[in-house]
Amino acid sequence: MESKPQLHVSAKYATQTKHGHNRRGNVAPEYWIWHSMIQRCHNQNNKQFGFYGGRGIAVCREWRESYSAFFSHIGHRPSPKYSIDRIDNDRGYEPGNVRWATSREQARNTRRARLIKHAGQELSIAEWSRKVGIGQDTLRGRINRGWPIETALSLPAEVTHGR
């Protein structure tokens, strides 16, 4: 079982109960998420800093200075399957640009995700793969080799283009 990172919680947060976040002496998961978000964006010693703060991603001042301000905007995490996600990955953590998202939703919302438009839908290769029943590697290979999208998505995996 993975243990939570050590965090020295100030007395202000350890005893705070007005918003229901002190659960029998435990700090709420939303607090850990808030803390981690600030660390990866503003602590150069954080292992993830290069992917966040190092490329200009920041937490807005209001949220950086107040967990309550952050929580009042984002609210409770719907379930442990959700984590914080930036809607526009080139913008920081700020009102209007964050949401709770599942890992599948987050995978679609990355700089690396390649979105394919077909038949009025825009889906990632992973989503198309699940939808049409063709492996991601097969689809990616077909598209990279220049296959028309309709053909790449419709031919069974055993069939090769032009044979």
pLDDT tens, position by position, 128-150: 888 888 888 888 888 888 888 88
Same domain? For 149 and 119 the reply is yes
- Residues 6 or more apart whose Cβ sits within 8 Å of residue 93: 37, 41, 57, 58, 59, 60, 63, 84, 86
Residue 161 lies in a domain: no
Residues 20-27, mean pLDDT to the nearest whole number: 62
Does residue 74 carry a pLDDT above 50?
Answer: yes
Same domain? For 36 and 89 the reply is yes
Residue 122 lies in a domain: yes
Same domain? For 123 and 84 the reply is no
Same domain? For 99 and 137 the reply is no
For the chain, the domain total comes to: 2
> In which domain, by residue range, is 139 found?
115-154
Q: Model-level pTM? A: 0.61
Same domain? For 24 and 94 the reply is yes
Same domain? For 95 and 45 the reply is yes
How far from 136 is each of 47, 126, 133, CA to CA, in Å?
30, 6, 9
Residue 160 lies in a domain: no
Residue 95 lies in a domain: yes
Same domain? For 96 and 121 the reply is no
